[in-house]
Amino acid sequence: MPVSVDLFKSAMRRWARGVSILTTRREGGILGITVSAFCSVSLDPPLVLVCIDRKARSHALIEKQRSFAVNFLKVGQERLSELAAGHSGEHGNWLEAEAHRKAETGAPILSDCLAWFDCTLEAVYEGGDHTIFLGRVQAAGHSEGRPLLYFDATYHKLAGPRPARSRGASRDES
C-alpha cells in the first residue's frame, strides 16, 4: 500500500533545503516559481534538474521558452520567495517589479541572489504529477551572503560565524 499524500508531505518537510526560484519569460514580463526539487546532475556537461507541478503556471512556459534560470535566495529574501510561491494572488509570481537582468539565454536572473544558473532546456521527463526539466547550464554566478533555508514549513538561517571560503572557489559573473 502506498504512503498517503499527507504522510509523504509531512516526512518531506523534515528535509532542510535552500530556497530557490525558477524564473522564465512570459508575455509581458517574467514569471517565478519556488522550487523545492533542484539538484545538480552532471559536471561535464554542466546539468541541473528541477521538478515542476504540471498545474503550475510556469510549467508550459518552460517548454515554450526553452530556457530558465534557477536563483538561490539569501537570508532577507523571504518576501521574494513568498511572491514566487504565488501567495500574493493570481499574479503574485509575476516578478517584473523585481530587479533582474539577463545572461546567456535571456532567462531573467534575479538581482542580489546568492547564486544563479542560466539554463537551456536539455530534456523533459514524466515524473508523476510533476515534470522533470533537465537544464544545461550556459552561465552561472554567485555573490556573498548566507543561504535562506526552508525546514518544516518555516524559513531558517544558519547560525554562527560564516564558514571560511574553500580554496579554489571562484566567482563567475557573466
Q: List pLDDT tens digits, range 88-131.
A: 776 767 888 889 999 999 999 999 999 999 999 999 999 999 99
pLDDT value of residue 131: 95
Domain 17-151: give its CATH code. Answer: 2.30.110.10
According to DSSP, residue 147 is labeled: B
Amino acid found at 87: H
pLDDT value of residue 171: 46
Please, which contacts does 97-106 make with residues 24 or more away whose CB atoms are closer than 8 Å? 98/30, 98/32, 100/23, 100/30, 103/69, 103/138, 103/139, 103/141, 103/174, 104/138, 104/139, 104/174, 105/67, 105/68, 105/69, 105/138, 105/139, 106/25, 106/67
80: left (phi over 0), alpha (psi -120 to 50) or beta: alpha
Residue ranges of the domains in the chain? 17-151
pLDDT value of residue 166: 53
pLDDT value of residue 165: 61
Low-confidence ranges of the chain (pLDDT < 70): 90, 92, 160-174
pLDDT value of residue 163: 60
pLDDT value of residue 162: 65
Sign (positive or negative) of CA dihedral 118, 121, 123, 126: positive
